[in-house]
Chain A
Amino acid sequence: MPKSIPELQEIAKRVRRDIIEMTGAAKSGHPGGSLSAVELVVDLFFHTMKVDPKNPAWKDRDRFILSKGHAAPVLYSVMAEAGYADTPKDQLNTLRKLGSVFQGHPDVRYIHSLEASTGSLGEGVSLALGMGLAARLNHSPSRTYTMLGDGEIQEGQIWEAAMAGAFHKLDNVVAIVDYNRIQLDGFVKDIMEVEPVADKWRAFGWHTVEIDGHDFAAIQGAFAEAAATKGKPTCVVAHTIKGKGVSFMENNPKFHGTAPSAQEVQLALQELQ
């Protein structure tokens, strides 16, 4: 049953706490880009996507590929919250440790419920197109969503795939750009400007929607619009805040790839009460 927005907001808060605790325990990882994606991923798994955590191999399920694989903590936490058997909630804090199923980047060898192994940026749209083509050939209603980082769209393969998605009229594919404006080395505009993002996707033939990526109503509206769009794939350019929800992490490039210290974990968890 899809959740109400207040319920989704409660889940989002728990997921944010998980992200802080997981990366804090691991003493490494990518909290900033996990926190920016929380509402989007929570909405997909608890509202928009047709999935059955008790039957993850269901053929006609909708699929989610975390192309920005470094944001693995948000995906692990959401899947644990959704109740997938191979993402046990009580093991989330083993993230990145030897023997953990919670690998540094999503790895289908350890978690079969994941849709794809990712981590090398630029591959998610192509993977989604392959899944979309397979669904079309199988006459399946399955839809495929992939989440990209804004820095990630600097990769050339993204635009090869953008061209191909429109050419093959894959209206069962949705790309989401988590547009938090920060990448590892600093602000995207200073490393390699990607603007105008929405115009680029439109020019490549995608139905393109720009939204506030922390507003559940807007997120749901965009995904509904994507589902109603025929003959072309949809790109949702989601404007987000890196480190969203933790004051000292918000818009701070340091927390792209640095875990919070033990003290920062405590401060962050207080803010996320």
Chain B
Amino acid sequence: MATKTKFEVKLGAATREAFGRELVELGRANQDIVVCDADLSKSTMTVYFAKEFPDRFISCGIAEADMVAIGAGLAYGGKIPVVSSFSAFVINKGFEQLRVAVAYPKLNVKVVGTHSGISIGEDGPSQMSVEETGLACSLPGFVVISPADELSCRALFREAVNHNGPVFVRTGRPKCPILYTADQKFEIGKAVELADGKDVTVIANGLLVAQAMIAADMLDAEGISVRVVDMHTVKPIDRDAIRKAATETGAIVVAEEHLVDGGLGVRVAQVVAETAPVPMEFVGIQDTYAESGQPEELLEKYGLVAKDVAAAIRKVAGRKR
């Protein structure tokens, strides 16, 4: 057996930055892309697009409900609207409009939420989205994507724009460890196996993918072989990858920067229950809102770092018969 290459943490750009840069590239290639933002373009990074294509940048003011429905109107008019704000605002304040104006007629609207999760840091819980994945997944017909690093975010956002229908892309504020090289292919609904292993699979997305990679190295030293799967698309979920993980490794940990209720974990568990029931553990935010602090401090305090993933792996390995 080949020796496992140890995962090295090298920080790349934040996923919001990757989104903002890719948006400009896509805007150059496709005149139909129109961007709506609610007074946060300097944070969501749609500012790059706004500077290059001022005519196709619609300033909506601090009015997310209006912004989402304007996006719907643009889609009815044949445009490809990219509607962006912090996840906490676009999903929660715009939810009714995402439901009736976008999801129900199944319009070609791309919703990009930035500053997702608690890693936004000092601003605190009113700005921290911990429910967005669950809410977005509850909308019929929506594709929901949560990329883990810069390259995958750019590639998956490109896929999102090419997809005909509503998509929610979840991005974050902090810089992310680099996981991929330029030759990696990404497809909506197709998970990526980042590390092979035979004892336990960690299925993660967003910031937790890198933590899972670190945890896998920790467990390797303890003689537990861990597979790591980047489940970047939460909906439609990659059922084959989950079934394969369950049957081949016999135990699954799901890790995400989201409430454990309603996020990736419950969706993986549903597939596991339907296909190949095995022991599972869940790493995520428990039934609570977080607080102000530095992102690293918060991730540590709320149990979203490698040692928490490692503890869950040990626990689930112990539950295997």
Contacts and interface: CB of A to CB of B under 8 A. Distances in A.
Interface stretch (A93-101, A121-129, A217-225, A236-244): A121-129
A83 interface: no
Contacts of B71: 130
Interface in B146-192: none
Contacts of B78: 59, 134, 138
Contact of A129 (B70, B75, B79): B70
A153 interface: no
Contacts of B104: 107, 109, 117
Contact of A164 (B55, B66, B72, B106): B66
A123 B101 CA distance: 7
B276 to A, nearest CB: 36
Contacts of B68: 126
Given A137-B34, A157-B65, A164-B63, A126 B70 contact: yes
Interface in B34-88: 34, 55-56, 58-61, 63, 65-79, 81
Interface residues of A, number: 32
B266 interface: no
Q: Please indicate which of the listed interface residues A108, A117, A156 has the most CB atoms of chain B within 10 Å of its own CB.
A: A117
Interface in B111-130: none
Interface of A: 59, 107-109, 115-120, 122-123, 126-135, 137-138, 156-157, 160-161, 163-164, 167-168
11 contacts: A117-B100, A118-B100, A119-B100, A126-B72, A126-B97, A129-B66, A130-B74, A131-B74, A133-B74, A163-B61, A164-B60
Given A59-B78, A126-B68, A127-B73, 18 more contacts: A107-B105, A116-B72, A116-B105, A118-B100, A123-B69, A123-B101, A126-B65, A126-B101, A128-B73, A130-B72, A130-B73, A134-B74, A137-B79, A157-B63, A157-B66, A161-B69, A164-B70, A167-B59
